[in-house]
Amino acid sequence: MFTCYAKQDQFETYVLASEDRQIYIEVVPERGCIISKYMYNNESIFYLEQETLEDLSKNIRGGNPILFPISSYLVDETYYYKDTAYQLKQHGFARNLVGQVIHTSADDNSASITLEMVDNEETLIRYPFHFKLIMQYTLNENGLSIQATIHNMDDKVMPFYLGYHPYFYVADKENLALQVPSSTYKEMIPNSIVEDKFNFNQDESNVIYDQLQSNSCEMIDHTRQLKVTITSEDVYQYIVLWALQGKPFVCIEPWMAPVNGMNVGQGIQLLEANQSHTSTIQIKAESLI
């Protein structure tokens, strides 16, 4: 049996949980519809710096921020649409939007919540399109499904590329194995890969993989005897790894496009007027014992 209910913390928060609360997530609509917490058998799957969730002036460090209408960054924070320059900050603005809950459900097998974010006067200055972004989160015994449906509510073609920025909790990086299905990568910070392994032993490491050979990445936490599998659809052509030394997390990020995608023309989805685009990723946690 699964349940879905709302509670009032600093922000209204929705909880999707199994009856014994061995598996649950928390969703904060007001903070970019973020999944702020994901627990499995009393183990944290997501990392969260609570103070960044509570401070509206900060980007949240933790959970699973939604990257829309772009993932990564643009050179000089600038792109062009029909010869007009627009400015977008790194990872877009969805993580700063206020969402609305439009549906919840729960039964013996799963719990689900559907949320909506829409354009406003501020977004139109930076991204001249009317849109709806519908997020549906479904939790069941097999893990967490994250589905995004983007509706172009405008009368012109709308370019975008979606991504996610999940922060996975890991206290013992020395006992962590990461499996990304590609041997082709670019270091965004030098020495991010050392002896074919992601380098946790410098202040910051950041690498982007392309030419993915499959749709699944794995994080194996040998200390906690825990495996997390991230599965995405083919439209997510890139996987990014990012970590900071001294912080108990690693980010494994599915992106549709590379750095500066809007300007280099790779991975961009061109959504026709009054059309929609749906894609899904899944995150599954399981015990190795």
Q: What confidence tens digit (pLDDT) does each residue in 104-145 have?
A: 999 999 999 999 999 999 999 999 999 999 999 999 999 999
Q: Does domain 2-171+249-283 have CATH number 2.70.98.10?
A: yes
pLDDT at 178 over 90: yes
Q: How far apart, in Å, are the Cα atoms of 233 and each of 169, 243, 269? A: 24, 24, 14
| Owner of token pair 């919540």 | 113
Q: Give one word for 92, left, alpha or beta, with left for phi > 0 and alpha for psi -120 to 50.
A: left
**Torsions phi, psi for 231 (to 5 deg):** -120, 130
What local confidence, expressed as pLDDT, does residue 289 receive? Answer: 87
| Owner of token pair 């922000």 | 11
Q: What confidence tens digit (pLDDT) does each residue in 30-52 have?
A: 999 999 999 999 999 999 999 99
Average pLDDT over residues 61-81: 96
Q: What confidence tens digit (pLDDT) does each residue in 256-265 have?
A: 999 999 999 8
Q: What confidence tens digit (pLDDT) does each residue in 205-243 have?
A: 999 999 999 999 999 999 999 999 999 999 999 999 999
What local confidence, expressed as pLDDT, does residue 265 receive? Answer: 86
What local confidence, expressed as pLDDT, does residue 77 receive? Answer: 97
Residue % of the chain over a pLDDT of 90: 97
What long-range pairs does 20-24 form, CB within 8 A, spacing at least 24?
23/139, 23/141, 24/139
Helices then strands, each counted (H, E), the chain: 3, 26
| Owner of token pair 């690498």 | 207
**Residues pairing with 208 in the sheet:** 186, 240
pLDDT at 61 over 90: yes
Q: How far apart, in Å, are the Cα atoms of 15 and each of 3, 8, 105, 221, 280? A: 8, 11, 11, 26, 21
Round the average pLDDT of the chain to a whole number and report it. 97
Token digits of residue 8:
């009032």
Those residues whose C-beta lies under 8 Å from the C-beta of residue 83, and which sit 6 or more positions away, are none
What local confidence, expressed as pLDDT, does residue 52 receive? Answer: 97
What local confidence, expressed as pLDDT, does residue 21 receive? Answer: 86
What local confidence, expressed as pLDDT, does residue 51 receive? Answer: 97
pLDDT at 102 over 90: yes
What local confidence, expressed as pLDDT, does residue 24 receive? Answer: 98
